[in-house]
Amino acid sequence: MSDLRLDATQLDRYSRHVIMDEIGPEGQQRLLDASVLVVGAGGLGSPAIQYLAAAGVGRLGIVDDDVVERSNLQRQIVHGDDDVGRPKVESAADYVTALNPDIDVEPHETRITAANVADLVDEYDVVLDASDNFATRYLLNDHCVLTGTALSHGAIYRFEGQVTFFTNERSSKAADEDADAPPCYRCIFPEAPEPGTVPDCATTGVLGVLPGTVGCIQATEVVKYILGKGEVLEGRLLMYDAMDMTFETVDVLANPSCPVCSDDPEIESVEDVAYEGSCQISAD
């Protein structure tokens, strides 16, 4: 049965979704009704923004406090040469509007902090973490765990990338005594490296097409989650090596002593943590 909320133009635009039994007009309407916050409009965020907009995710928030530099253009494909010097959220928003006028795009020219994370994240159904620093990754993880918000994680380094997904649906898992508790980002990576020990892409470089692959996988996971179809990468870490063209998936388990997602958490608010530096629990 067709959902009459899809008009003729939308039925044409999303026809390759609508004809699929797994999606159909009802699934497409779910995408149009959904909201996703993309944190970072750089290498990972660019392909994710492109495909989420093209898929018809109806409300798309973009968070970034940086401006476009010419060195970004080798991989950050929502920006062009004419955008150099512009805020990334502005050029990314213009790209989305030109690609799909159905999308309500909301640029947030700011850096996510413990002070504003609730105001930003709580307005959206899913968060896609395309950030490039550990402080933001831990902050997003902790807030999403505490609020039960789904979170897509991706990261890249030179020729390698990784992706996982956290539904943060702990109440339903707790009701099933046979189900393993899902991990969070802190379960997999308990501590951030010491500042300065992991060089960034400005120091070591990055294969320009690498974030395209990883960001597309992140977007795929978000679309599947919104549709309620397939199996997302919860409890699994997908690792991609572009040099060898190999994918490896490893199971990851919850840490029963995790400070944020265990039964007896130490972190009950993001204000409990000093996110700059080691991202450890504050002694205050």
Q: 67-109, pLDDT tens digit by residue?
A: 999 999 999 999 999 999 999 999 999 999 999 999 999 999 9
Active-site residue flag, 201: yes
CATH class of 21-272: alpha beta
Domain map (residue ranges) of the chain: 21-272
SS3 string, the chain, reads CCCCCCCHHHHHHCHHHHCCCCCHHHHHHHHHHCEEEEECCCCCHHHHHHHHHHHCCCEEEEECCCECCHHHHHCCCCCCHHHCCCEHHHHHHHHHHHHCCCCEEEEECCCCCCCCHHHHHCCCCEEEECCCCHHHHHHHHHHHHHHCCEEEEEEEEECEEEEEEECCCHHHHHHCCCCCCCCCHHHHCCCCCCCCCCCCHHHHCECCCHHHHHHHHHHHHHHHHHHCCCCCCCCEEEEEECCCCEEEEEECCCCCCCCCCCCCCCCCCHHHECCCCCCCECCC
Task: Dump pLDDT digits (tens) for 135-166.
Answer: 999 999 999 999 999 999 999 999 999 999 99
Identify the active-site residue in 144, 184, 187, 201: 201
